[in-house]
Structure 1
Amino acid sequence: MSVPTANLASFKIPAVINEPMKSYAPNTAERAGLAAALKELRAQAPLDIPCVVNGKEVRTGIIDKQLMPHEKKTVLCNFHNADEALVAQAIDGALAAKLDWENTPFNDRAAIFLKAADLAATKYRYKIMAATMLGQGKNAWQAEIDAAAEMCDFWRFGVKFAEELYSVQPPQNSATTWNRTEYRPLEGFVFAVSPFNFTAIGGNLAGAPVLMGNVCVWKPAPAATYASYVTYEILREAGLPAGVIQFIPGPAPEVVGQLWKDIGNNIENYKSYPRIVGETGGKNFHMVHKTGNATSVVYNTIRSSFEYQGQKCSACSRCYFPDNLWPEIKAGLIEAHGRIKQGSVEDFTNFMGPVINQFSFDKIKSFIDWAKADPESEIIAGGAYDDSQGFFVQPTIIVTTNPKSKTMTEEIFGPVVTIYVYKAEEYEQTLHLVANSSAYALTGALFSQDRYATIQGANILRNAAGNFYINDKCTGAVVGQQPFGGGRASGTNDKAGSAAILSRFVSPRSIKETFVDLEDFVYPSNFA
């Protein structure tokens, strides 16, 4: 039973900054530490990963496997899928834990997440990075960005943004009254379904609502099960009470379903209108003005298209280059492409690794094969693929004469970028083409050294991307710096890494307290 808790002070959280990045350069302590963690994890594989319901490990015997995508015959872990009965048990358990958790003072909830961030930055840093590398095919740098730095940032900045949100109070009080706002957790529970491509997203999708006093049923992506389990271990060690997050691996079709349609068709069954926070895809662009810096365009395009094998929601997938710069850009792209090294994630010198699984490999392969047969498309670099050992797709650059071709408009989610070369004097016309050629609106970049052209581009492309970059690649959003999310078919644009997303997990209550009793009901104007 919950009991009243004394609130003895208004606490101020420690100063929050972005987690410092480690380099993993040769002969550094961090490279040695990560290499040891990779070796240790490989020796432990295959691990056995349970569901965790009400703080207890549950092994259903419904086994699935998480493979190492760079070495597909090696199983990283066997994990137990939740069945329908266990999902129901998890929901009931979360609801049973809800009252105590939402009555837990904010400073205590905050302390758990600040401790979790420190654990992720220190004790667990190399373990969760190794899990992300071997399980999700990231190289050391991409794993550092994700599983270490961004995970810490989500949890620390989440606390900072929650503190700021709670401090937003009514600016006026009438005489003899006091107005205040409290930010209640939502009724019911939060269902979090996290993707494979960022370990930190799982930590935030489950963590952000829980920080705000909600309870959560968390289904991680099958291809990120082990790193997600390590994330759960960190939160548990940080002091998260049993039942507040229920960890239930499971196949997406059975557990997730078509949430929007299911909710809409059953709206009368809900006590409150459900809230959906979602990111659903992208077809991200680089648009270049005739004054753009060609060298910068080349290197930013290589990185944004091919880092983590193009499996970032924000990865560049379509480019619009002016014909005056095209010869220089083309030569630069081919030269840079020739220096890309691809292979095992355990070789720190590799810039690229594998795509995540057979389904992804086959899908990306089909786009490349289509481009090879399309008379309007030309592959100027890459185009090869090999799944004999792991799921390796060579970084592929396509040039098309059709700005609405298949590879310019459909999401690929792999290391494939398509370029359309436009006439430099048709800049405005091409901006409208960029803005209206995709159903998605997640990220985009504009390269220009002409301020008026930059202003024009930013205006026309206003609704084409939720994250817009000027003279920078369309990937790499940092928590606390560039809140992340897009509109249109890309999702609900609730801006992960900001206070905006936290506001989605609370239901404010306005409170007015009057200190002097009302003595009559008539108005002053009623007197004769």
Structure 2
Amino acid sequence: MRSLFVLQRRTVAQLAHFQPPKHVKNEAVKAFGKADQLDWDLLKSELFSLSDTATKVPLVIGDKEFYDRDLAKQTNPGNHQQVIAEYALANEKDVKSAIEAAQSAKKDWINASFDDRAAIFYKAADLISTKYRYRILAATMLGQGKNVYQAEIDAVAELADFLRFNVKYAHQLYNTQPPESTDGVWNRVEYRPLEGFVYAVTPFNFTAIAGNLVGAPALMGNTVVWKPSQYAILSNYTLMQIFKEAGLPDGVINFIPGDPVKITSGVLSDPNFNALHFTGSTKVFGDLWANIANNTASGKYKDFPRIVGETGGKNFHLVDKSANIQHSVLSTIRGAFEYQGQKCSATSRLYVDAKVWPEFKKQLVEKTNDIVPTNTSATNGLHQFMGPVIHENSYKKLSTAIDQIEVDPELTLLAGGLHNDSEGYFVKPTVVETKNATHPFMSTEFFGPLLTVYVYEDLDQVLQQIDSTTKYGLTGSVFASDRKIIRKVQEQLRYSAGNFYINDKSTGAVVGQQPFGGSRMSGTNDKAGSASILSRFVTPRAIKENFYEISDYKYPSNYQ
């Protein structure tokens, strides 16, 4: 049956060259306003369903699901007594099996037509935006502590956008062909999948990122071993089920939760490892890079592995005296405290011109103090702006830093400063001012709702400090109405941010509009949401076909 399926796909590919739908557009974000009662009812139904009993999550390797392994639990970070999933943990044998399944599936998947592969991911996007919309919303809210709007823009809109726009970008890449051929010659380029398998290590904070990290290489004909975050198991398994329902063949993506060190050790020791697709901490990414480099130097791999990663950020807002103060304040609150500051692009450094600081401070403190973190997946918290931080380690890191403010003479607490973990991991949005532009709070990534402010008088000096204070280069914003200031900041901070915003917050890149990624220690800047990242998961072959025949080995210049 399998051989017949492969034959049918090849036949279709020979009959026509198909064009993907021309009008791919961003998935509309549901507002979940007061009038949207049906949306609320459907969401609540899924929340109750997923809260009623813990979901049993297996390993998914090839055509099999494995439940009979050591188990771990995923809890609701807003109510850490609530277990929402019990999931199987992959052992060393499972890692090997996942690699074998990926290699076996590659034999057919590499020969599947692009049209077949594209149709699967188009179907998955439609399932996400229709049949499974409220389920994946609920899973993301319960497991990752998002409010409904943050879950909607992530687990539905951005996820569907990645899957659809990737097809558009892949088609563009495949159509990038040599512009010239001499008479009697046809030049063309084949964009082959990588020869080995791809290892995808996905984060807790965006369900969409998880989908893109596994979906992008798979679309290009690769097979994937997927290690999901232990704090996003429920939503990620839901996504795996959606891929299967959409028609993804067995073994193309293999889902193996478990100990990250053990799984990674098994994956990176395999000679067929060919690419890392990673989102997570800078430290972990650096360690993986070193491990891969050492293995490459020792000749372990068949190929030089591709390393694609997006890591951390210490992202800035710069507010000039010509800025609209209210807009700048509200944008900063959104940038710093949406999803509890747990976005790699979240605003965590704020530089404000001294001339407007008094009014800016007044509005910032007033608005920040209005925010109360709540269990956003509970009935009484569904409408709240902020939820819990993701886990105990994050809570401890943030609470320790916040407690240091009181005893640090270079820091002044302006708002927040409270935290409580008795029921969930709740941290009040906190704003602190420093007189030291190079204070550790201006360079340390806390990955939470902690914003540090520096009030400046000399723009040239503060631009130098913004550029040099941290090792990151992910996102940043300037707020100003003076075009000379905007131009100056944009040019002098050219390498300080891979995504630079003018009069907008440092978060919220949209697939198809702002390709996302940063350099320096923020990652490889391969720009998710663009054709650029897809090019990392193919290995082109130039093909020259000659139609003329020669009659002599000599050239005219060889004769007198």
- Smaller-chain TM-score range? over 0.9
Q: Distance in 2 between matches of 1:371 and 1:521?
A: 81
Which one-letter code corresponds to 1:12 in the other structure? Answer: Q
Q: Distance in 2 between matches of 1:250 and 1:73?
A: 21
Q: How does 1:18-417 map to 2 (within 5 A)?
A: 18-28=26-36, 29-43=38-52, 45-256=53-264, 258-267=287-296, 268-345=299-376, 346=378, 347-417=381-451
8 Å Cα contact 1:60-1:81 kept in structure 2: no
1:5 alignment counterpart: 10
8 Å Cα contact 1:341-1:349 kept in structure 2: no
Structure 1: gaps (5+ residues): none
8 Å Cα contact 1:193-1:256 kept in structure 2: no
| Deviation of the 1:294 alpha carbon | 1.1
8 Å Cα contact 1:60-1:82 kept in structure 2: no
Partner SS state of residue 12, structure 1: coil
| Deviation of the 1:60 alpha carbon | 4.1
| Deviation of the 1:371 alpha carbon | 1.9
Q: Distance in 1 between matches of 2:92 and 2:359?
A: 58
Q: Deviations over 1:253-309 (max 9, x none)?
A: 322363211111111111110011111111100012221111111001100100000
2:481 alignment counterpart: 449
8 Å Cα contact 2:438-2:465 kept in structure 1: no
Q: Deviations over 1:441-466 (max 9, x none)?
A: 11100111111111111111000010
8 Å Cα contact 1:386-1:392 kept in structure 2: yes
Moved more, 345-354 or 136-145: 345-354
Which one-letter code corresponds to 1:440 in the other structure? Answer: Y
Q: Deviations over 1:225-254 (max 9, x none)?
A: 110000000000000000000000012232
| Over 3 Å off, 4+ runs | 1-4
Q: Deviations over 1:318-354 (max 9, x none)?
A: 0111100100110010111132232121322210000
Which one-letter code corresponds to 2:125 in the other structure? Answer: A
Indicate whether 1:438 and 2:470 are aligned.
yes
Q: Distance in 2 between matches of 1:431 and 1:66?
A: 43
2:514 alignment counterpart: 482
Q: Distance in 2 between matches of 1:466 and 1:255?
A: 31
Q: Distance in 2 between matches of 1:32 and 1:23?
A: 14
Partner SS state of residue 305, structure 1: helix
Q: Distance in 2 between matches of 1:518 and 1:149?
A: 58
- 1:513 maps to which of 536, 545, 553: 545
8 Å Cα contact 2:50-2:139 kept in structure 1: yes
Q: CA RMSD in A?
A: 1.1
Indicate whether 1:495 and 2:543 are aligned.
no
Q: Distance in 2 between matches of 1:140 and 1:56?
A: 33
Given the superposition, is the C-alpha separation of residues 60 and 407 from structure 1 closer, same or farther in structure 2, using an over 3 Å criterion? farther
Which one-letter code corresponds to 2:29 in the other structure? Answer: M
Which one-letter code corresponds to 1:485 in the other structure? Answer: G
Q: Deviations over 1:36-88 (max 9, x none)?
A: 11111111x21111100012111242111100000001101111110111000
Structure 2: gaps (5+ residues): 266-286
Indicate whether 1:460 and 2:492 are aligned.
yes
8 Å Cα contact 1:318-1:417 kept in structure 2: yes
Q: Distance in 2 between matches of 1:254 and 1:442?
A: 30
Which one-letter code corresponds to 1:8 in the other structure? Answer: L
8 Å Cα contact 2:369-2:416 kept in structure 1: no
Partner SS state of residue 321, structure 1: strand
Which one-letter code corresponds to 1:291 in the other structure? Answer: S
Q: Distance in 2 between matches of 1:430 and 1:465?
A: 15
Partner SS state of residue 81, structure 2: strand
Q: Deviations over 1:112-159 (max 9, x none)?
A: 000000000000000000000000000000000000001100000000
8 Å Cα contact 1:60-1:83 kept in structure 2: no
8 Å Cα contact 1:377-1:400 kept in structure 2: yes
Q: Distance in 2 between matches of 1:514 and 1:371?
A: 73
Moved more, 449-458 or 215-224: 449-458
8 Å Cα contact 2:69-2:90 kept in structure 1: no
TM-score (norm 2): 0.92
Q: Distance in 2 between matches of 1:60 and 1:384?
A: 42
Q: Distance in 1 between matches of 2:224 and 2:51?
A: 31
Partner SS state of residue 452, structure 1: helix
Partner SS state of residue 330, structure 1: helix
Partner SS state of residue 417, structure 2: coil
8 Å Cα contact 2:371-2:428 kept in structure 1: no
Q: Distance in 2 between matches of 1:62 and 1:477?
A: 39
2:502 alignment counterpart: 470
Partner SS state of residue 373, structure 1: coil
Q: Distance in 1 between matches of 2:406 and 2:508?
A: 31
| Deviation of the 1:10 alpha carbon | 1.4
Q: Distance in 2 between matches of 1:477 and 1:195?
A: 17
8 Å Cα contact 2:187-2:545 kept in structure 1: yes
Q: Distance in 2 between matches of 1:341 and 1:451?
A: 37
Aligned residues, how many? 525
